[in-house]
Chains A and B, each alone.
Chain A
């Protein structure tokens, strides 16, 4: 192999894909540092007539369980893009010079966390009125990797709120592993009883001190060292790792699972997408697909 071809094996720079509402996650360069590549400038395409795409949107609820929880949010986005092409669904693409499928993901799930309720909005092309939504889980199943499973799909009415806007809180199961059960119960109760919990966090590179107590909507212990916590996502959210650090900085979250994502409908909370009763995961079951 020549020197040149060895260089040619260096990773190509890939433009970060712009997902609507994709949270900022560190771009995962696979790169060797020897030669960081610059993006190829993409010139506007010549006036190519494209039929206007009247998108029909649908919302997908899926699980992410087992080994695949070690993929990142960006990985999951790429997995979906490919799966939708494999299933030959008529996906709408963004207009413009570097068309991308119109996919819109909800709140990012940290790498390593599992989930019983992840969400994705998909825009289908207009001519896709014949896509049978009930059929989709069956069509998508073979195109998705083990551990990602479609649980429900519904059509979205025009003007539906985006996932980022709609979701106000999440229910988590957080296993703090090595801690003693009595200590977990005690510290959790103490956190709930506190009138305020002032912590200093890093936000956008700055240290911010604020009271996170309002973001803890509920927390209870079950099964020894696992805490079920309802944590707000807005107006100011609290992540499971931050919650644990607030309750007891010495703990280490061994396993974190998102159980539900909630919206507010007329003062009551509701799952973004309810599951058919039979498919609802037992509330306190530890699902271990791996």
Chain B
């Protein structure tokens, strides 16, 4: 074993925030490596502060270390100052757990949550002493793998990844380990690498890019085909049917130094069927699988006791939709053993569910920041994106917040949405300004921060066919909002750089031909592209031009129904015709209520895999319109406020077909 600590240690005093590289967190493990165990290096391709809290990697870390045939350690991208030292002193990428060299592991497994980290993945592979191109790796090199939401379109990274896991990792990671353990036991002989990769293609949810061939027709794709008869034509995502069977992380890592989301995180449900059309997470993680409330309570109370945290986040894609959310929150806040010192944060709150009751509960210990995401400025636009919350819902939520003593509220919006007009864009200003005015009636110093991001169409959403707004167009729209908000006291506008939005769009819906582009950007120093001070649009434009690729084709044009999409051989369970119909509904400004409490639309996610929603409450939560009670033609509440009746606690498979 090559322990790099002795090489690293003399240099740590000279780099920024050296505590990022020492490990020693509560919950960190020092697994014993051996010939009978497959060693995974779970790597987040951004800094420790961003990567450590990643729940996906923490879950896999525990599951793998519980197995007899596997061990797992963790690594993060070193910041530029340490990277310079590592390259100068020939120190390889290392695990923080035992400071073992990355090249000594059997698998380098990356979590991909953001497109702008792709070049960091290449950098980490290179720092590990492994060829960045999969085709150049030899038997002694680790396998390079990836999972996470970005891998629903893994094609831009096809040249670099040996295998990809699509969907929930809890089960499949063990199946992969078993295959790799046998391969390791056989001595990883020459030629066995291709064989083991081929064997991996037989596992559901595992995609091996090199086993597929893409046939082009000019700039378009004619077909994507497996190279061998035993390799599946289509890779189906993995879905864990019952979250209660996976109460992970059991021992969440508690860092010694500051990180983002530095608190206990308990996932209350996975999946979301609100059906927001811009939201890839909501589309690819269906169906809704709630964790039983009692298990949530246990994970919270045991987690707080074990970690010493004084804050817990109940995480999901829309936490206010969790059945019985108010009683769970109240139970945590009122728990006598925590002396009233624990604060609860609900990171994804729908405005139609944020009531005075919840506001009063979550501010008992300490007041955390409050963020709402109306996403669009006008009801017309919110129908198009299917974020069916009314203006009154937002104002009600904001009133609740300010009346409970908050002075700042943050609002998230998207711009560059399909068929957006300048009136829609300026509606963002209108909404935000009205929120400031509501705040003023409660407190003189009320302020609202409106954060605007350029919309990036994502694979496996109804908007996957939509041509992204150009940088100029997004800049113009942001300019409109800047001009409008300049005169509004108490309203602060922030925005995402449209140039970064462009590159996200490129990688999001790109195909294999982007591989050389990503490699060139990396070779010319384009790492940490998520960080504004390191983002280099010029490198991306230059690389596109050098490889004869066109931004118009990849980013800006609308796709047609018949077109073969680069990710058509991957499946998130969603029928392509469902997505297309939803896209047509969007253009017709037709909203679609949540299928958790209304009949099935047959998107395919439940029926295709023989799984179903796991939702404790048969009715939508009280408060606001909740996207179910409003008149969809006007955005106002109709007379019958809850027209939905559901008789089954769990919907039988295919019940509504």
CB atoms of B19 and A75 under 8 A apart: yes
Inter-chain CA distance A82–B304, complex, in Å, is 10
A146 within 8 A of B: yes
Inter-chain CA distance A86–B338, complex, in Å, is 11
Q: What residues of chain B lie closer than 8 Å to A83, measured between beta carbons?
A: 308
CB atoms of A10 and B367 under 8 A apart: no
CB atoms of A2 and B451 under 8 A apart: no
Inter-chain CA distance A176–B108, complex, in Å, is 39
**Knowing A32-B531, A99-B341, A112-B13 touch, does A2 contact B367 (C-beta < 8 A)?**
no
Interface size on B, residues (CB 8 A): 74
Inter-chain CA distance A83–B25, complex, in Å, is 12
A203 within 8 A of B: no
**Knowing A7-B451, A14-B258 touch, does A28 contact B17 (C-beta < 8 A)?**
yes
Chain B 483-502 interface residues, beta-carbon cutoff 8 Å to A = 494, 496-497, 501
B593 within 8 A of A: no
Inter-chain CA distance A3–B455, complex, in Å, is 7
CB atoms of B260 and A30 under 8 A apart: yes
Q: What residues of chain B lie closer than 8 Å to A3, measured between beta carbons?
A: 414, 453-456, 496, 501, 504
Query: Can you list, as one digit per residue, whether each of B110-121 has a CB less than 8 Å from chain A (1) or not (0)?
Result: 000110000000
Q: What residue of chain A has the Cβ atom nearest to residue B262's Cβ?
A: A14
Inter-chain CA distance A176–B257, complex, in Å, is 28
Q: What residue of chain A has the Cβ atom nearest to residue B455's Cβ?
A: A3
B533 within 8 A of A: yes
Task: Name which of A75, A84, A98 has the most chain B CB atoms within 10 A of its CB.
Answer: A75
A12 within 8 A of B: yes
**Knowing A28-B17, A30-B260, A145-B24 touch, does A290 contact B408 (C-beta < 8 A)?**
no
A206 within 8 A of B: no
**Knowing A2-B281, A3-B501, A43-B405 touch, does A146 contact B24 (C-beta < 8 A)?**
yes
Inter-chain CA distance A146–B451, complex, in Å, is 42
Q: What residues of chain A lie closer than 8 Å to B22, measured between beta carbons?
A: 67-68, 70-71
CB atoms of B406 and A40 under 8 A apart: yes
Q: What residues of chain B lie closer than 8 Å to A93, measured between beta carbons?
A: 339, 341
Q: What residues of chain A lie closer than 8 Å to B414, measured between beta carbons?
A: 3-4
CB atoms of A82 and B309 under 8 A apart: yes
Q: What residues of chain A lie closer than 8 Å to B5, measured between beta carbons?
A: 67, 290
A280 within 8 A of B: no
Inter-chain CA distance A75–B149, complex, in Å, is 32
Select one of A30, A32, A68 contacting B530, CB under 8 A: A32
Query: Can you list, as one digit per residue, whether each of B427-468 has a CB less than 8 Å from chain A (1) or not (0)?
Result: 000000000000000000100010101111010000000000
Q: Min CB distance, A126 to chain B, in Å?
A: 14
Q: What residues of chain B lie closer than 8 Å to A9, measured between beta carbons?
A: 50, 113, 260-261
Inter-chain CA distance A147–B25, complex, in Å, is 12
Q: What residues of chain B lie closer than 8 Å to A71, measured between beta carbons?
A: 19, 22, 256-257
Q: What residues of chain A lie closer than 8 Å to B370, measured between beta carbons?
A: 40
CB atoms of B21 and A32 under 8 A apart: no
Chain B 515-537 interface residues, beta-carbon cutoff 8 Å to A = 530-533
B87 within 8 A of A: no
Inter-chain CA distance A88–B373, complex, in Å, is 38
CB atoms of A75 and B531 under 8 A apart: no
Inter-chain CA distance A32–B79, complex, in Å, is 13
Inter-chain CA distance A4–B452, complex, in Å, is 9
CB atoms of A79 and B256 under 8 A apart: yes
Q: Min CB distance, A62 to chain B, in Å?
A: 15
Q: What residues of chain A lie closer than 8 Å to B531, measured between beta carbons?
A: 32-34
CB atoms of A86 and B306 under 8 A apart: yes
A179 within 8 A of B: no
B556 within 8 A of A: no
B366 within 8 A of A: yes
Chain A 80-100 interface residues, beta-carbon cutoff 8 Å to B = 81-86, 88, 93, 98-99
Q: Min CB distance, B403 to chain A, in Å?
A: 12
Select one of A5, A85, A290 contacting B308, CB under 8 A: A85
Task: Name which of B22, B150, B307, B310 has the most chain A CB atoms within 10 A of its CB.
Answer: B22
Chain A 60-77 interface residues, beta-carbon cutoff 8 Å to B = 67-68, 70-72, 74-75
Q: What residues of chain A lie closer than 8 Å to B596, measured between beta carbons?
A: none
Q: What residues of chain A lie closer than 8 Å to B254, measured between beta carbons?
A: 82
Q: Min CB distance, B488 to chain A, in Å?
A: 17
CB atoms of B504 and A34 under 8 A apart: no
CB atoms of B347 and A8 under 8 A apart: yes
Inter-chain CA distance A28–B79, complex, in Å, is 15
Q: Min CB distance, B153 to chain A, in Å?
A: 12
Q: What residues of chain A lie closer than 8 Å to B259, measured between beta carbons?
A: 11, 30
Interface size on A, residues (CB 8 A): 53
Select one of B12, B18, B497 contacting A34, CB under 8 A: B497
- Decide if the interface of chain A is mainly helix, strand, loop or mixed: loop
CB atoms of B532 and A32 under 8 A apart: yes
Chain A 15-31 interface residues, beta-carbon cutoff 8 Å to B = 28, 30
Inter-chain CA distance A254–B414, complex, in Å, is 51
Q: What residues of chain B lie closer than 8 Å to A111, measured between beta carbons?
A: 13, 18-19
Q: Min CB distance, A224 to chain B, in Å?
A: 17
Q: What residues of chain A lie closer than 8 Å to B357, measured between beta carbons?
A: none
Q: What residues of chain A lie closer than 8 Å to B24, measured between beta carbons?
A: 67-68, 145-147
CB atoms of A11 and B260 under 8 A apart: yes
Q: What residue of chain B has the Cβ atom nearest to residue A147's Cβ?
A: B24
Select one of A1, A68, A70 contacting B281, CB under 8 A: A1
Query: Can you list, as one digit per residue, whether each of A40-56 has a CB less than 8 Å from chain B (1) or not (0)?
Result: 11110000000000000
CB atoms of A1 and B280 under 8 A apart: yes
CB atoms of B261 and A12 under 8 A apart: yes
Select one of B307, B445, B449, B532 contacting A82, CB under 8 A: B307
CB atoms of B367 and A81 under 8 A apart: no
**Knowing A3-B414, A4-B414, A70-B22 touch, does A40 contact B367 (C-beta < 8 A)?**
yes
**Knowing A3-B414, A290-B9 touch, does A75 contact B369 (C-beta < 8 A)?**
no
Q: What residue of chain A has the Cβ atom nearest to residue B26's Cβ?
A: A145
Chain B 61-108 interface residues, beta-carbon cutoff 8 Å to A = none
Q: What residues of chain B lie closer than 8 Å to A12, measured between beta carbons?
A: 260-261, 369
Task: Name which of A4, A9, A84 has the most chain B CB atoms within 10 A of its CB.
Answer: A4
Q: What residues of chain A lie closer than 8 Å to B18, measured between beta carbons?
A: 70, 111-112
**Knowing A1-B281, A42-B366, A93-B341 touch, does A35 contact B114 (C-beta < 8 A)?**
no
Q: Could you list some 14 contacts between A and B, CB below 8 A?
A: A4-B375, A7-B412, A8-B412, A11-B259, A12-B369, A30-B260, A37-B369, A40-B370, A41-B408, A67-B5, A72-B19, A82-B307, A93-B339, A147-B24
19 new A-B contacts, CB < 8 A, other than A3-B504, A30-B259, are A1-B149, A2-B456, A12-B261, A12-B369, A28-B257, A33-B532, A34-B531, A38-B408, A40-B407, A67-B24, A70-B21, A71-B19, A75-B258, A82-B254, A85-B309, A86-B305, A86-B308, A99-B341, A143-B308
B residues with CB within 8 A of A: 5, 9-10, 12-13, 17-19, 21-26, 47, 49-50, 113-114, 149-150, 254, 256-262, 278-281, 305-310, 339, 341, 347-348, 366-371, 373, 375, 405-408, 412, 414, 445, 449, 451, 453-456, 458, 494, 496-497, 501, 504, 530-533
